[in-house]
């Protein structure tokens, strides 16, 4: 197969869909790879490195498979051939119009967001690989912005207590945030509405925060369901005390296809100490904190810094791309057999029709 990799063009996107190491593996399997000039530069991969790995530098759009990270821009859609298979994050739930535009070209498209989260497809699970990066990065940002230490210090100049970190939502990003905050020496408390994660939270050395009155809210596919308004109120009240004690809150709570649940009301932010930091990883879906401004960082009147980062994986473009490229490689290795459960699950446009 001939596989093309365009340079990503949208704002804030520094990742690239394939890295030289993965190109080498594709070449060993007799695939051809065409990389657009400078496609990997922002992720630390030079054109020379791609050429050494066996790729050619050229126009990627004539390939049978075009691998991307971000959804295609209008210009990119216009370059899609009718028999091309496009693979990438395509935001199928958030932007159905984008799929229609791809379909109008007659192409086929697989959305990485729709790869089924079954054991066999773990190596293709780009949501997980990128969420791992986000969870890690979120804690580093919090640690940098916090005017306090994370670890406890006993020094001749006095004792510094460890930071109290609260992680809301303990999926892939949340668990990585917990692990990172623990490594830095913070005392971590975490909460999720799926009781299955209690043990995972505890195994990372964090406390599981129990909210009475909310049963297990696990829905199909292991994802969370949306809480009822009454349950949401219970949750906010129970958590507000813990929020007031926290130096840092990292929130990652998401329900697929729904706006992010508002877990931190403005009143809870008012109860936090000046200097405390909230990193809201759900900013892209509207935010878990009522005050979050997606893409912005600001300080509230009572001195709490609220950070609503967009596309954190892109800030660690080298490793985020390396992991993503392995996800793409595993998908390519499957072949594009429409009868395969994973391929069928990820296919959002087939031969010009949105499916
Ligand atoms: P996600 O990004 O959709 O959500 C993040 C977390 O927010 C989830 O843990 C969710 O339960 C939690 N959440 C939602 N509403 C909440 C609320 N009101 N309060 C607190 N927390 C709330 O989830 P994700 O990280 O992509 O993964 C979620 C599920 O997918 C998990 O069950 C995970 O085990 C499963 N998964 C399976 C595989 C696999 O088998 N291949 C791979 C990755 C993830």
Q: Rounded to whole angstroms, how far apart are CA atoms 158 and 78?
A: 64
Tell me how far the alpha carbon of residue 289 lies from the centroid of ligand 1, in angstroms: 18
Q: Which of 123, 223, 240, 350 is catalytic?
A: 223
More confident residue, 231 or 248: 248
Query: In this predicted structure, what is the pLDDT of residue 233?
Result: 86
Kindly tell me if the per-residue pLDDT of 335 is higher than 90: yes
Kindly tell me if the per-residue pLDDT of 217 is higher than 90: no
Tell me the average pLDDT across 212-236. 82
Whose alpha carbon is nearest atom 34 of ligand 1?
222
Kindly tell me if the per-residue pLDDT of 325 is higher than 90: yes
Nearest atom (ligand 1) to Cα of 191: 20
Tell me how far the alpha carbon of residue 131 lies from the centroid of ligand 1, in angstroms: 10
Contact (CB, 8 A) for 257 and 285: no
Neighbours of 344 (CB within 10 A): 15
Q: Which of 184-198, 211-225, 302-316, 340-354 has the lowest mean pLDDT?
A: 211-225
Provide the phi-psi class of 330: left if phi over 0, else alpha when psi is between -120 and 50, else beta.
alpha
Ligand 1 within 6 A of CB of 60 = no
**Predicted structure pTM score:** 0.95
Tell me the average pLDDT across 301-319. 98
Query: In this predicted structure, what is the pLDDT of residue 220?
Result: 75
First to last CA, the chain: 24
Query: In this predicted structure, what is the pLDDT of residue 28?
Result: 98
Ligand 1 within 6 A of CB of 201 = no
Contact (CB, 8 A) for 169 and 210: no
All residues at 6 or more sequence positions from 273 whose CB lies less than 8 Å from its CB, including other chains: 247, 303, 304
Contact (CB, 8 A) for 88 and 26: no
Tell me the average pLDDT across 221-237. 84
Residue 339 CB-density burial (10 A; 0-12 exposed, 13-18 middle, 19+ buried): exposed
Tell me how far the alpha carbon of residue 222 lies from the centroid of ligand 1, in angstroms: 7
Query: In this predicted structure, what is the pLDDT of residue 321?
Result: 98
Neighbours of 254 (CB within 10 A): 22
Tell me how far the alpha carbon of residue 7 lies from the centroid of ligand 1, in angstroms: 31
Nearest atom (ligand 1) to Cα of 254: 4
Catalytic residue status for 125: yes
Ligand 1 within 6 A of CB of 168 = yes
Q: What is the mean pLDDT of the chain?
A: 95
Catalytic residue status for 337: no
Question: In this structure, what token pair is assigned to residue 278?
Answer: 């909230």
Chain mean position to CA 316: 12
Tell me the average pLDDT across 274-291. 97
Whose alpha carbon is nearest atom 32 of ligand 1?
222
Query: In this predicted structure, what is the pLDDT of residue 75?
Result: 96
Residue 345 CB-density burial (10 A; 0-12 exposed, 13-18 middle, 19+ buried): middle
Tell me the average pLDDT across 210-239. 83
Q: Choose among 76, 103, 106, 70: nearest CA to 88.
A: 70
Beta partners for 108? 85
Tens digit of each residue's pLDDT (9 = 90 or more) over 249-267? 999 999 887 899 999 999 9
Tens digit of each residue's pLDDT (9 = 90 or more) over 48-107? 999 999 999 999 999 999 999 999 999 999 999 999 999 999 999 889 999 999 999 999
Ligand 1 within 6 A of CB of 214 = no
Residues 44, 48, 53, 55, Cα dihedral to 10°: 110
Tens digit of each residue's pLDDT (9 = 90 or more) over 110-127? 999 999 999 999 999 999
Confidence of residue 226 (pLDDT cuts 50, 70, 90): confident
CATH topology for 2-114+316-354 is Rossmann fold (3.40.50)
More confident residue, 180 or 233: 180
Q: Rounded to whole angstroms, how far apart are CA atoms 48 and 293?
A: 40
Would the CA dihedral through 252, 254, 259, 261 be positive or negative? negative
Contact (CB, 8 A) for 12 and 314: yes
Strand (E) or helix (H) holding 208: strand 207-208
Query: In this predicted structure, what is the pLDDT of residue 102?
Result: 97
Are domains 2-114+316-354 and 134-310 of this chain identical in fold?
yes
Contact (CB, 8 A) for 148 and 176: no
Tell me how far the alpha carbon of residue 352 lies from the centroid of ligand 1, in angstroms: 32
Kindly tell me if the per-residue pLDDT of 215 is higher than 80: no
Tens digit of each residue's pLDDT (9 = 90 or more) over 130-140? 999 999 999 99
Q: Which CATH class is domain 134-310?
A: alpha beta
Listed by start position, the domains of the chain span 2-114+316-354, 134-310
User: Each residue of 138-165: b (16+ CB within 10 Å) or e?
Assistant: bbbbbbebbebbbeeeeeeeeeeebbbb
Percent of the chain clearing pLDDT 90 (strictly above) = 88
Ligand 1 site-directed mutation target among 113, 114, 169, 235, most atoms within 8 Å of CB: 169
Ligand 1 within 6 A of CB of 317 = no
Query: In this predicted structure, what is the pLDDT of residue 258?
Result: 86
Catalytic residue status for 246: no
Percent of the chain clearing pLDDT 70 (strictly above) = 100
Q: Is the ipTM of this complex over 0.85?
A: yes
Ligand 1 within 6 A of CB of 227 = yes
Beta partners for 189? 166, 207
Q: What separation in angstroms does the CA of 41 have from each of 14, 69, 133? A: 8, 15, 19
Question: In this structure, what token pair is assigned to residue 306?
Answer: 């609220």
Ligand 1 within 6 A of CB of 125 = yes
Ligand 1 within 6 A of CB of 254 = yes
Q: Which of 125, 192, 247, 280 is catalytic?
A: 125
Would the CA dihedral through 90, 93, 95, 100 be positive or negative? positive
Kindly tell me if the per-residue pLDDT of 151 is higher than 90: yes
Residue 276 CB-density burial (10 A; 0-12 exposed, 13-18 middle, 19+ buried): buried
Ligand 1 within 6 A of CB of 170 = yes
Tell me how far the alpha carbon of residue 12 lies from the centroid of ligand 1, in angstroms: 25
Residue 69, classed as helix, strand or coil, is: coil
Catalytic residue status for 223: yes
């Amino acid at each position: 197969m001939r596989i093309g990799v365009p340079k990503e063009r949208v704002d804030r996107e520094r990742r690239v869909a394939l890295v030289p190491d993965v190109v080498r593996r594709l070449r060993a399997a007799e695939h051809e790879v065409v990389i657009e000039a400078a496609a990997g530069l922002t992720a630390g991969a030079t054109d020379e490195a791609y050429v050494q790995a066996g790729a050619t530098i050229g126009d990627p759009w004539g390939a049978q498979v075009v691998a991307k990270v971000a959804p295609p821009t209008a210009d990119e859609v216009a370059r899609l051939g009718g028999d091309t298979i496009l693979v990438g994050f395509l935001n199928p739930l958030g932007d159905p119009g984008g799929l229609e535009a791809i379909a109008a070209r007659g192409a086929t498209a697989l959305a990485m967001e729709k790869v089924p989260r079954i054991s066999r497809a773990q190596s293709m699970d780009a949501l997980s690989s990128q969420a791992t990066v986000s969870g890690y990065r979120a804690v580093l940002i919090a640690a940098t912005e916090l005017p306090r230490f994370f670890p406890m210090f006993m020094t001749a100049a006095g004792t510094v207590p460890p930071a109290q970190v609260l992680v809301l939502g303990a999926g892939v990003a949340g668990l990585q945030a917990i692990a990172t905050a623990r490594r830095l020496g913070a005392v971590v408390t975490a909460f999720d509405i799926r009781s299955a994660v209690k043990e995972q939270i505890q195994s990372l050395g964090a406390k599981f925060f129990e909210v009475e009155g909310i049963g297990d809210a696990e829905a199909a596919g292991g994802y969370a369901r949306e809480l009822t308004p009454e349950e949401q109120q219970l949750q906010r009240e129970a958590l507000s005390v813990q929020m007031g004690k926290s130096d840092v809150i990292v929130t990652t709570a998401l329900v697929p296809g729904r706006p992010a649940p508002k877990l931190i009301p403005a009143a809870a932010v008012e109860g936090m100490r000046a200097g405390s930091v909230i990193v809201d990883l759900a900013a892209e879906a509207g935010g878990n904190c009522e005050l979050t401004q997606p893409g912005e960082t600001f300080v509230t009147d009572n001195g709490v810094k609220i950070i609503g980062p967009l596309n954190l994986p892109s800030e660690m473009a080298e490793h985020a791309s390396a992991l993503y490229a392995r996800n793409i490689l595993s998908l390519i290795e499957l072949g594009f057999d429409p009868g395969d459960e994973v391929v069928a699950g990820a296919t959002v446009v087939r031969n010009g029709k949105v499916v």
